[in-house]
Amino acid sequence: MRPSWKRLVAVALSLSLLVGLGWAALAPINVASRDALFEIPPGTSARRMAGEDLDILPQTIRLTLGVNDVLVLRNADRVPHIFGPTLIMPGQSFRLPFVQPSTYSFLCTAHANGQLNIIVEPAPAPGWQRLRWRWRSLIDKGGG
């Protein structure tokens, strides 16, 4: 009986898919950078003075431990800005790491209700959560 090459290729593909899925579900997440960067672009103050309504920082920021758990706020404008939880000088960055999953609220005059919420979620657990996280990041990369 001659081996069916089609069957062998199918077996090979299934095996590789299983190995790939197993890796994606179990391998530790090793991201290049854990920074969640938000930047005040140059000219923001001038545009606000001109009456433009700029919303640079979302009302709620979602972070995930071990993935993007360092909030980095950068002021690339030429004047100081209250940005999220603090005042940041021109050309200065503010780098705030998170280590506990929780919801953090900061007074922030840049928002209409005066509050910025940062939701820090736990690191994706091995298994389904990690698989879902990898799938999403793959989709995000594909989407540019």
Partner 1 sequence: MIAGANRRIPALAGALLLALLLAGAIIAGLSRDAAPQAAAVADAPARPWAMRAGAFDPPHAAPEFSLSGSDGTPVTLARYRGKVVLLSFGFTYCATVCPTTLSTLAQARKGLREAADAVQVVFVTVDPARDDPAHMREYLAAFDRSFVGATGTSDALAAVRTQYGVTAEKHGTGPDYVMTHTSSIFLIDRAGKLRAMMPFGHDPADFVHDVKLLLAE
Q: By the criterion CB under 8 A, which residues form the site for partner 1?
A: 1-3, 5, 8-9, 11-13, 15-16, 19-20, 23-24, 27, 30-33, 70-71, 80, 82, 85-89, 91-97, 99, 104, 106-107, 109, 114, 134, 138, 141
Residue 94 or 121: the one with the smaller Cβ distance to partner 1 is 94
Q: Take residue 116 and report the two structure tokens written for it.
A: 């910025």
Q: How far is the CB of 127 from partner 1 (least distance, A)?
A: 17
Residue 42 or 114: the one with the smaller Cβ distance to partner 1 is 114
State the Cα–Cα distance between residues 25 and 35, nearest whole angstrom.
23
Residue 50 or 85: the one with the smaller Cβ distance to partner 1 is 85
Which of 115, 108, 110, 106 has its CA nearest to residue 45? 110
Q: How many CB atoms lie within 10 A of CB 28?
A: 8
Output phi, psi for 21, to 5 deg. Answer: -65, -40
